[in-house]
Amino acid sequence: MEMAFTVRLLLLLISSFFVVPIFVFSQTDGKVAVGAFLSATAGNNSSWLSPSGDFAFGFRQLENKDLFLLSIWYAKIPDRTIVWYANGDTPALAPQGSLVNLTANDGIVLTSPQGEEFWKSETSVGVVAFGVLNDTGNFVLEDGNSESLWETFKNLTHTMLPGQDIEKGGKLSSQQSETNYSKGRFQLRMQDDGNLVLNTINLPTDFANPSYYASKTTGDLNSSTAGTKLEFNSSGYVYVLRENGEKFNLKEAETVSARSYYLRATLNFDGVFALYYYPKSSTGNVSWSVVWSLPDNICSMGVDSGLGVCGYNSICTLKADKRPTCECPRGYSLLDQNDPYGNCKPNFVQNCDADELNSTKDQYEVQVLKNTDWPTSDYMQLYPFTADGCNASCFEDCMCAVAIYRVETCWKKKLPLSNGRVDSALNSLAFIKVGKRNATLQVPHLPSPDDGKKKKKLNTLMPVESTLLVTSGFVNFLLIAAVCLGFFFIFRKNHERCTQNDLDINLHSFSFQELQEATNRFEEELGRGSFGVVYKGKIEIGSGVEVTVKKLNSVIQDSEKEFKTEVNVIGRTHHKNLVHLVGYCDEAQQRLLVYEFLSNGTLASFLFGDTKPSWRQRIEIAYGVAQGLLYLHEQCSTQIIHCDIKPQNILLDDYHNARISDFGLAKLLMMNQSKTHTVIRGTKGYVAPEWFRNMHITTKVDVYSFGVLLLEIICCRRSIDMENNSDERAILTDWVYDCYREGVLECVVDNEVEALNEKSKLERFVMVALWCIQEDPSLRPTMRTVVRMLEGVVEVRIPPCPSPYSRIG
């Protein structure tokens, strides 16, 4: 074996004298002749260069390793940034002494010092005449007719260069870390439906989570606006090219000239896809600069998109260049010290068994962080509440690791904490329990907005921590008293009363007199509906909180238990697109519900007022309503069918975000309460056909109502408009279907320029609505599918006539 290896080296040494002219020739036109080779040798920077010398192809020694990566890099930049490497998701790492040869039959072949084949370019047809490294950074194998047989631009890794594109089905994969080129968790994919998405995968599998960015350039059978490929042109624009030739720019930003700057678009190991530039004429210590990046805030990645860029119990902070940094909170440390983006572990033991044996105040202290949250880890919400109460509640709860306090609301969270982030817009306090015995350990400290200020100033931000130690004895006394009182009621009351105890923990129980005073004896009426009359009020919590008070009509009289059970279900819901229930009144025959007050009123007044809302505002509202219904149908502990989705029951907050109200109240009404004065629950124009046919009622009744609502949002028109001069336009659902069938969707938006600029989205939204209002419930999609269709993740097929039994054509 040693003899054969020696002979092989001698032959290569002899042959190298004959390839010297080839190497020299490659400096002028980038061509590499068949038979040329390079060796992986420490300190040897031999490579094949592009004609300008901008790019190099060869071996790069990995940092702190005796391994080499066959790659392409910028030859004139000090850091020699790598833009491509062999074998993509499973990089071919070669030991010292490995060789890369250019062969006629197999193209580029990488072998070990012993002659074992690591990787080859695998040209499927033709014979390689030569290779050429272009000034674009593309290494191409060509035949005798200068036709391309294989090229690096078609074998994607983590970076795109000007002149490169990604066809449908193609993807960029991130690295695992800055120095580890193995396949990472993030992907940029050009889907078959024309949508460009960023998503995470669950390693070691290729299971793709829902996207955290989408270009929404999907199309359908009747549209020519679907994306065909992602292009990076020589002018510095990165865009999705549509079938009709239109270009969807990923980001509206000033372009950077490729003549004066090196450009690259890279999917970084932390999931940020960014366009970078570097001055070609630079002579000093210059680094790459960012033109733009996606997404805008990687730290705000939704829980549906998988675990965030930072590991469990970690906190993500966005830097000025919109790249994230991850750090463990005090009292926690990295599970793997070599992975700063990995999981954090507590430096103490937290469990209920230990807490029972020792005093809580002896085990823990509290660290306070501003504007920090782990939004997906809460198990209990308390409202109305104080900061002191929030801190104490978590401190004495052996399940609680962190409590977040914001706007009189306390969220208690348990380990592991996921998707942590710092956001100055939160205006919140995070109370973190930390084991006392490890308080002196040197652990990473989380930067806060007040870092660098005087310690005295920092101390003023933590009043609760100091108060805690002074009042802990009193708190313990109150808790012991509360526990004793709880046992008294447990033994005194039967199981039915436990429901009330759970309810009282989460919701405030008001007396009828309190609500009379809060509403000034029900003076200011905000509206009426099938569920009752709504009044504006103000309850005295702190400086006073504005609320809406709903007096329910003809509430079920079967039992006190049923009312409290249903209200309890409503009170436990927590979603950004639902109106928050503050409390209730159950006194004699009076049943009232108290909700947060939303300043911008109902969607009805917003849509049908004198000023037409913008197209962008309307589609965001549609997304919000769909997300809220999905939560009610599938994601809360008890499935809730709303039964009366309409614009009057959609409220808008200060930022015009949609918030569904009156959810869960259908079960509280007697059967004869509705707008239509029949056993049907709902409002004329929004009621699903199965209500009239004595069919089983499912969540599909809400899907039907949402379809009608979606058409109203699109058209800014009421579902039934008998005052309209044209009879054919009176019923909105029928008229929109006719417009869709005749291909005149511009009519439904009254030629609105903003909507017509996104005609593919307009058509998609209309098609989704038409699927939702199908007479046959089995044809209607679920709200989960509706959300995915609106987002462009699921293809929308051509809908049939929504009411084939009641109309002709």
Residue with tokens 């399940």, as numbered in its chain: 399
Overall pTM > 0.75: no
Looking at residue 691, its pLDDT comes to 77
d(CA 346, CA 329): 9
Query: How confident is the model over 417-432, as pLDDT tens digits?
Result: 988 999 888 889 999 9
**For residue 683, what pLDDT band results from cuts at 50, 70 and 90?**
low
Task: Tell me the average pLDDT across 51-60.
Answer: 94
Cα torsion 160, 165, 168, 169 to 10°: value is -30
Q: Residues near 771 by Cβ (< 8 Å), separated by ≥ 6? A: 707, 779, 780, 781, 789, 796, 799
Query: How confident is the model over 629-661, as pLDDT tens digits?
Result: 998 888 776 788 888 899 999 999 887 889 998
In this predicted structure, which of 23-27, 184-188, 432-436 has the lowest mean pLDDT? 23-27
Task: Please list the residues that pair with 190 across neighbouring strands.
Answer: 196
Better-predicted residue by pLDDT, 265 or 503:
265
Residue 103: closest CA among 26, 33, 31, 30? 33
Residue with tokens 């070691």, as numbered in its chain: 204
Contact assessment for residue 91 and residue 69, using Cβ atoms and an 8 Å cutoff: yes
Q: Residues marked as binding?
A: 551
d(CA 76, CA 85): 18
- Spell out the alpha helix ranges (H) of 583-614: 603-607
Q: What is the mean pLDDT of the chain?
A: 80
Tokens of 564: 């409290």
Looking at residue 225, its pLDDT comes to 81
Gyration radius of the chain over CA positions: 32
Q: Residues of the chain with pLDDT > 70: what percent?
A: 79
Range 460-464, long-range pairs (CB < 8 A, 24+ positions):
461/368, 461/370, 462/368, 464/366, 464/368, 464/387, 464/388, 464/391, 464/429, 464/431
Looking at residue 466, its pLDDT comes to 38
Strand boundaries in 576-617, DSSP class E: 581-587, 590-596
- Domains of the chain in start order, with CATH, are 2-152 (2.90.10.10), 159-209+227-296 (2.90.10.10), 303-475 (3.50.4.10), 501-596 (3.30.200.20), 607-791 (1.10.510.10)
In this predicted structure, which of 131-135, 274-278, 610-614, 671-675 has the lowest mean pLDDT? 671-675
d(CA 19, CA 598): 78
Span between the terminal Cα atoms of the chain, in Å: 83
Looking at residue 476, its pLDDT comes to 46
Task: Tell me the average pLDDT across 294-320.
Answer: 87
**Which helix or strand (DSSP H or E) is residue 148 part of?**
strand 148-151
Contact assessment for residue 745 and residue 763, using Cβ atoms and an 8 Å cutoff: yes
Catalytic residue among 270, 644, 662, 702: 644
**For residue 805, what pLDDT band results from cuts at 50, 70 and 90?**
low
Looking at residue 586, its pLDDT comes to 85
Is the per-residue pLDDT at 358 higher than 70?
Answer: no
d(CA 527, CA 798): 39
DSSP 179-243: S--SEEEEEEEE-TTS-EEEEEB-TTS-PBPPPSEE------TT-S-SEEEEEE-TTS-EEEEET
Helix (H, G, I), strand (E, B) or coil at 352: helix
Better-predicted residue by pLDDT, 686 or 797:
797
d(CA 504, CA 310): 37
Looking at residue 360, its pLDDT comes to 57
**Which helix or strand (DSSP H or E) is residue 15 part of?**
helix 2-29
Task: Tell me the average pLDDT across 313-323.
Answer: 90
Query: How confident is the model over 553-574, as pLDDT tens digits?
Result: 755 554 566 677 778 778 878 7
Is the per-residue pLDDT at 787 higher than 60?
Answer: yes
Looking at residue 372, its pLDDT comes to 93
Q: Residues marked as binding for ATP?
A: 551
Query: How confident is the model over 523-532, as pLDDT tens digits?
Result: 998 887 666 7
Is the per-residue pLDDT at 455 higher than 70?
Answer: no
* 702 is a catalytic site residue: no
In this predicted structure, which of 247-256, 319-328, 512-521, 686-695 has the lowest mean pLDDT? 686-695
Sequence letter at residue 47: S
Report residue 791 CA to chain centroid gap. 12
Looking at residue 728, its pLDDT comes to 66
Task: Tell me the average pLDDT across 226-254.
Answer: 89
Tokens of 767: 């098609």
Contact assessment for residue 379 and residue 413, using Cβ atoms and an 8 Å cutoff: yes
Residue with tokens 């969220």, as numbered in its chain: 411
Residue 266: closest CA among 117, 85, 439? 85
CA distances from 506 to 250, 490, 548, 552 (A): 44, 18, 18, 21
**For residue 5, what pLDDT band results from cuts at 50, 70 and 90?**
very low
Contact assessment for residue 669 and residue 618, using Cβ atoms and an 8 Å cutoff: no
Is the per-residue pLDDT at 25 higher than 50?
Answer: no
Is the per-residue pLDDT at 399 higher than 60?
Answer: yes
Query: How confident is the model over 618-635, as pLDDT tens digits?
Result: 999 999 999 999 988 887
Burial of 644 (0-12, 13-18, 19+ CB in 10 A): buried
In this predicted structure, which of 83-92, 362-371, 471-480, 499-508 has the lowest mean pLDDT? 471-480
Is the per-residue pLDDT at 442 higher than 70?
Answer: no
